Amino acid sequence: RTCHEPKHTPPQNPTMMMKFVLAALLAAVPSMAFVAKAGPSAARATRASSALNMMAGARAKMEWVTVLKTSNIGKGELVPVETDGMNLLIAADTNGAIYCLANVCPHLGTPLDQGTVANGVIVCPLHKTAFSLKSGEVVGDWCPFPPILGPMVLGKLEPAKNVATFPVRSSGSNIQVQVNKNARAEFESGYWAGILDAQGKATGDYY
């Protein structure tokens, strides 16, 4: 008879069969562990790269933009304007000086265009906080109105904050404001980077 090499077939005995299956599973564990470990790392690298690409493409791009005709605003007036997704407010002081600030009160986020302008300050129409037209800093008390309720309750909702201001100039018959043309992209890149960072902290992918 011709002798043949014995074939490596699984044992037919149930007990031996179970041992064979367990041995096969144990042999596969290292490779499965490698795949499980490599997966999150690859995903982490992809997300980090995407965040960096977004932030790299959102560098500041400062430009002067025309927002209003000088003939469309008088002394002591406020005119809301919008440019590049930003709500701004052109303010003409009672002496004729022109300023630009964000059209949002830092207290509750309400518009400032219904406020009043005089003597270098703008006064919020809601809680009567005064802000410097030049620097945006709080002038006097924070949230003084209504009496008692304003200082004791409403003013405690948010700490005193300055309002954002922007460089402004007259160019011929136009009023121009210097703004960051990439402000929206910068905000969105920071938003998405924050989302990715929060996800990494939650899942452990980043740390």
Ranges of each domain in the chain: 62-180
> Consecutive sets of 10 residues in the chain, 207 residues long: mean pLDDT of each?
46 50 46 40 45 51 94 97 93 97 93 96 96 97 90 87 96 95 66 48 39
**CATH topology (fold) of 62-180:** Rieske Iron-sulfur Protein (2.102.10)
Handedness of CA 116, 121, 123, 128 (dihedral sign): negative
Q: How many helices (H) and strands (E) does the chain have?
A: 4, 11
Distance CA 176, CA 70 (A): 10
CB 47 within 8 A of CB 196: yes
- Chain-centroid distance, C-alpha 136: 21
Contact 8, 20 (CB under 8 A): no
Q: Residue 28 contacts by C-beta under 8 Å, 6 or more apart in sequence?
A: none
Taking the whole predicted model, whether its pTM rises above 0.75 is answered as no
d(CA 51, CA 33): 28
Q: Comparing C-alpha atoms, which of 15, 53, 69 is closest to residue 193?
A: 53
Q: Quick one: pLDDT at residue 206?
A: 33
CA distance 137 to 12: 86
Calpha distance 96→87 (Å, rounded): 22
pLDDT of residue 158: 87
Q: Reading across the β-sheet that carries 62-69, which strands appear in turn?
A: 62-69, 174-180, 168-171
Neighbour-count burial of 37, counting CB atoms closer than 10 A to its CB (0-12 exposed, 13-18 middle, 19+ buried): exposed
